[in-house]
């Protein structure tokens, strides 16, 4: 019986012992607390942090907080109390953070959502759906932060920015926070009498202590569903939100002038304008839109060098796409054990507005003005959730047809480098049984108008969809979760052939009899999904077991993210966490994970055992360590469309040490080691970091790293002769280094200056070239043949190697490389009114070495950075928010 047929049985028999463990008593949680509020009626409250308005006398103080960190369930070291009131437009909170040592209160400054120093926080489940909530945080220094909480506290989105007000003061008894939150920033049902979920938190920074009004033990299986309750809300009506934020922008690009090139004049000026908006269609539905958005103030991506076939995942940084992304996200596999499949998602918004898919080739005497990004004409998001637990999100984005201009001795011509494209995403979920069960659906569509032959390699249409479910029981301590996905792409035969032969599929593999390249196909359909079972609370022990699959023809990368199809993975995880300090430790976390990968031909392509331990000591230092045993490393991708290659076993070990992050000077360092058996390679990585805060308003971070990679079977090229394809490998000696530098100067809570920089350099030298002989041979030495000096020669003039083979000679280019990159941003941000901002940005980039490194040394790298081409970008942007 083929493994593909018995694979579901393997999952079933591994699930049985875990399901048996469910037969234990249900965990008991603390009884829910209740706070009764009252309306202001004809009174007023001034937000000044003093609590001296007479209206505050009409409600009682609530207190009796319970510590959760560091000692779960213990009384807090300092008392906290709060009051709540409301009127037709606002919610009001008064929070008293008592402190017997007011001089010890830590008043650190940060940007919005920095969460530094002492703070208090209010979480409001205004829908009372026991799953989602809004979080409002204010530090003693007056810095505010807000987050949208979803998935019962598993997701906290700090990119959600509401408009609200807070004021803090310090007195002899401690410090005070007075808060006013517009009802328009919350979502709730239209009912005469309302009950909301409520949680109030305090952090005492110097003790690294957190205490809560509603005690929720560390081993609880969730967060929002265990909130206390806010009652007494009568007669308030949902507020329709209306916010329109137009912006104007001026930009100057400066770079090296290139003689004769009309597109490299040394200086370029431009101006732009656009608008963002948020409209409350009803109390349950919100429309976000943007016209001609600008993302100029967004921090640059970190530099990375990729020698594999797999695409690098880049974090989304653009505000429009980040806010509310959990509503639209549809993960391919939700795995607490991780794994290289855990990033897969039907929605990956970095596809939208990326660099063009095509770059024209130029001849001598031609110059090209190639666009760096594809302009987004407009986009909207429609999101909502009703009182019955039905939530939905719809997003549509339109990118314009983009052309590159080519100058041929003064004559201008244009060539399309990206077609007009529409990206559409829809997502809906339904809560059942007060959120203990959830079912959902998703659909995506990418539609391109392709009228240029040079773009026939792109899909004209790409669709994907899925259904998912989550069921929890025993007070959400146990769960079973999964999904089923379908993809369908259409296009010219060139596009479908290109997809079949891409690094995600490699249908041309000679030893993959179950797939083949169809050069006449105009469409491709595949499936994917996962199923898992686990325990998530009610005990210091947690575990999970599951499996996932991607059929060979599954393809979602037009608007989603997936590194590889043709796989079936099984995983399991067991984790343990202490609930109370033990001996010299404040906290101990540990887990072990097991993986088994297969392809659709039934071949076992990976077996792995991974584990890690995290220890936090009572002096607030942390030590983490872990490692992995990697076996049966049969790669279908290493030879870039060639047969599967059995890589030798690999062992990995790492550790890191972090000092007390509360101190003005904090540091971290660590190492990672990996050794490939049969003397086939080794890796060494080292990193160190320092974070220094000389004053509360200034923070400086420096994080250098070095890496050494030696791989004796790094893929180089595939060359053909009369004997067929020859797969050439080599020993690479790769040195990489860089440093990330961050500086934050917070002049006021609404005025900040931020700096980010990352110089990066990498050098790769190749030796000991070899040919693949028997890629799956039992003995490593039988898999390859190393060329002798009689079988290979190097021509330094052409920088080419020639292999003398009895079936015909072949040549390949010298694969050595030298890479240098430098990106930096200096951003002045002033929120001159709530929701209204002014940015000044200086962005600098350097890259493309003029000369290769003579040696990989500090002086060579520094010289290389300063000798490489320089580009400066200066941006000024003003946004004003009209709101109702």
- 339 and 461 together in one domain: yes
Domain boundary among 500, 520, 536: 536
- pTM higher than 0.85 for the full model? yes
CATH number for 142 = 2.60.40.1190
How many whole angstroms separate alpha carbon 672 and alpha carbon 596?
A: 23
What residues contact residue 559 under an 8 Å CB cut-off, 6+ apart?
Answer: 346, 347, 348, 351, 352, 423, 425, 444, 446, 462, 464
| pLDDT score recorded for residue 805 | 86
- 343 and 197 together in one domain: no
- 224 and 291 together in one domain: no
Q: Is residue 758 part of a domain?
A: no
Q: What percent of the chain has pLDDT over 90?
A: 70
pLDDT in tens, 645-655: 999 999 999 99
N- to C-terminal Cα separation, the chain: 67
- 325 and 470 together in one domain: yes
How many whole angstroms separate alpha carbon 570 and alpha carbon 596?
A: 5
Count of domains for the chain: 2
Q: Which of 435, 390, 363, 403 is nearest to 154 (CA)?
A: 435
How many whole angstroms separate alpha carbon 412 and alpha carbon 409?
A: 8
- 343 and 407 together in one domain: yes
- 70 and 193 together in one domain: yes
- 289 and 195 together in one domain: no
Q: Is residue 484 part of a domain?
A: yes
- 517 and 422 together in one domain: yes
- 224 and 287 together in one domain: no
Q: Is residue 197 part of a domain?
A: yes
Name the token pair of 352. Answer: 């939208």
pLDDT in tens, 664-705: 999 999 999 999 999 999 999 999 999 999 999 999 999 999
Q: Is residue 618 part of a domain?
A: no
- 323 and 205 together in one domain: no
pLDDT in tens, 480-503: 999 999 999 999 999 999 999 999
Q: Is 538 helix (H, G, I), strand (E, B) or coil?
A: coil
Q: Is residue 726 part of a domain?
A: no
Q: Is the pLDDT of residue 8 over 50?
A: no
- For the chain, how many residues are written? 884
pLDDT in tens, 145-169: 999 998 888 889 887 888 899 999 9
Q: Is residue 114 part of a domain?
A: yes
State phi, psi for 412 to the nearest 5 degrees: -100, 140
Q: Is residue 144 part of a domain?
A: yes
Is residue 119 within 8 A of residue 140, CB to CB? The reply is yes
Q: Is residue 561 part of a domain?
A: no
Q: Is the pLDDT of residue 20 over 90?
A: no
Q: Is the pLDDT of residue 121 over 80?
A: yes
Domain boundary among 536, 571, 603: 536
- 62 and 165 together in one domain: yes
Q: Is the pLDDT of residue 99 over 70?
A: yes
Instruction: Tell me which residue range forms the domain holding 375.
Output: 281-295+310-536
Output the average pLDDT for the chain: 90
Domain boundary among 217, 234, 251: 234
Higher per-residue pLDDT: 465 or 855: 465
Q: Which helix (H) or strand (E) segment is 534 a member of?
A: strand 523-535
Name the token pair of 512. Answer: 């993959």
| pLDDT score recorded for residue 850 | 66
Point out the least confidently predicted range of 205-219, 290-304, 313-327, 705-719. 290-304
- 93 and 151 together in one domain: yes
């Amino acid at each position: 019986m083929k493994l593909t047929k018995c694979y579901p049985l393997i999952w079933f028999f591994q699930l049985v012992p875990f399901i048996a463990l469910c037969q234990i008593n249900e965990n008991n949680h603390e009884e829910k607390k209740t706070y009764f509020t009252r309306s202001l009626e004809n009174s007023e409250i001034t937000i000044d942090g003093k609590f001296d308005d007479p209206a505050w006398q009409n409600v009682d103080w609530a207190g009796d907080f319970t510590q959760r960190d560091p000692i779960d369930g213990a009384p807090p070291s300092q008392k906290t109390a709060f009051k709540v009131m409301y009127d037709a437009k606002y919610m009001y909170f008064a929070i008293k953070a008592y402190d017997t040592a007011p001089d010890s209160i830590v008043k650190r400054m940060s940007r919005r959502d920095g969460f530094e120093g002492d703070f208090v926080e209010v979480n409001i489940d205004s829908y009372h759906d026991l799953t989602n909530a809004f979080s409002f945080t204010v530090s003693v220094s007056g810095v505010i932060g807000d987050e949208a909480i979803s998935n019962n506290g598993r997701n906290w989105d700090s990119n959600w920015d509401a408009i609200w007000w807070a004021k803090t003061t310090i007195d002899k008894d401690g410090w005070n926070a007075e808060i006013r939150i517009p009802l328009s920033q919350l979502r709730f049902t239209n009912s005469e009498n309302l009950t909301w979920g409520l949680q109030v938190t305090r952090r005492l920074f110097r003790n690294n202590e957190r205490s809560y009004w509603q005690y929720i033990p560390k081993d609880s299986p969730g967060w929002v569903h265990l909130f206390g309750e806010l009652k007494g809300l009568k007669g308030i009506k949902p507020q329709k939100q209306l916010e329109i934020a137009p912006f104007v922008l001026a930009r100057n690009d400066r770079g090296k002038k290139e003689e004769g090139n009309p597109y490299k004049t040394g200086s370029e000026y431009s101006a732009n304008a656009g608008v963002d908006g948020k409209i409350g269609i009803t109390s349950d539905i919100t429309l976000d839109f943007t016209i001609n958005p600008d993302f100029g103030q967004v921090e640059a991506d970190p530099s990375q060098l990729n020698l594999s076939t797999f695409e690098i995942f880049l974090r989304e940084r653009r505000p429009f796409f980040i806010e509310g992304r959990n509503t639209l996200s549809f993960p391919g596999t939700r795995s607490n054990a991780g794994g290289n499949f855990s990033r897969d998602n039907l929605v990956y918004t970095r596809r939208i507005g990326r660099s063009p898919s095509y770059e024209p080739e130029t001849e001598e005497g031609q110059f090209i003005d190639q666009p760096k990004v594809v302009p987004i004409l407009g986009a909207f998001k429609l999101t909502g959730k009703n009182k019955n637990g039905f939530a939905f999100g719809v997003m549509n984005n339109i990118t314009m047809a983009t052309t590159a201009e080519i100058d041929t001795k003064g004559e201008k011509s244009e060539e399309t480098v990206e077609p007009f494209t529409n990206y559409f995403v829809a997502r809906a979920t339904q809560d059942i049984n007060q959120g203990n069960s959830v079912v959902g659906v998703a659909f995506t569509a990418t539609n391109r108008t392709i009228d240029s032959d040079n773009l026939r390699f792109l899909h004209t249409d790409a669709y994907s969809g899925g259904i998912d479910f989550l069921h929890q029981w025993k007070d959400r301590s146990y769960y079973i979760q999964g999904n089923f996905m379908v993809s369908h792409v259409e296009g010219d035969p060139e596009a479908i052939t290109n997809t079949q032969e891409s690094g995600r599929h490699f249908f041309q593999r000679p030893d993959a009899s179950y797939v083949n390249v169809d050069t006449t196909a105009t469409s491709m359909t595949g499936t994917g999904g996962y199923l898992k079972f686990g325990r998530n609370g009610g005990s210091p022990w947690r575990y999970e077991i599951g499996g996932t699959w991607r059929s060979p023809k599954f393809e979602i990368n037009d608007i989603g993210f997936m590194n590889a199809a043709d796989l079936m993975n099984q995983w399991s995880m067991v984790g343990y966490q202490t609930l109370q300090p033990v001996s010299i430790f404040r906290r101990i976390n540990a887990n072990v994970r097991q993986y088994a990968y297969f392809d659709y031909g039934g071949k076992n392509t990976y077996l792995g055992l991974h584990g890690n331990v995290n220890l936090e000591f009572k002096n607030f230092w942390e030590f983490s360590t872990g490692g992995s045993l990697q076996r049966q490393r049969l790669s279908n991708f290493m030879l870039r469309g060639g047969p599967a290659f059995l890589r030798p076993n690999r062992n990995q070990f790492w550790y890191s040490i972090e000092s007390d992050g509360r101190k003005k000077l904090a540091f971290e360092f660590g190492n990672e080691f990996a050794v490939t058996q049969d003397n086939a390679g080794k890796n060494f990585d080292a990193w160190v970091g320092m974070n220094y805060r000389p004053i509360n308003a200034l923070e400086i971070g420096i994080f250098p790293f070095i890496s050494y990679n030696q791989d004796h079977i790094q893929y180089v090229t595939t060359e053909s002769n009369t004997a067929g394809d020859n797969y050439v490998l080599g020993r690479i000696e790769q040195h990489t280094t860089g440093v990330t530098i961050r500086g934050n100067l917070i002049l006021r809570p609404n005025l900040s200056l931020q700096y980010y920089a990352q110089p990066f350099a990498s050098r790769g030298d190749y030796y000991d070239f070899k040919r693949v002989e028997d890629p799956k041979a039992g003995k490593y030495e039988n898999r390859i043949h190393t060329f002798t000096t009689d079988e290979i020669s190097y021509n330094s003039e052409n920088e080419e190697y020639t292999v003398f083979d009895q079936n015909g000679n072949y040549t390949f280019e010298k694969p050595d490389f030298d890479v240098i990159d430098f990106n930096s941003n200096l951003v002045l941000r002033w929120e001159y009114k709530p929701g209204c901002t002014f940015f000044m940005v200086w962005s600098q980039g350097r890259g493309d070495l003029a000369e290769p490194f003579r040696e990989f040394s500090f002086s060579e790298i520094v010289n290389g950075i300063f000798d490489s081409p320089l580009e400066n970008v200066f941006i000024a942007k003003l946004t004003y928010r009209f709101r109702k």
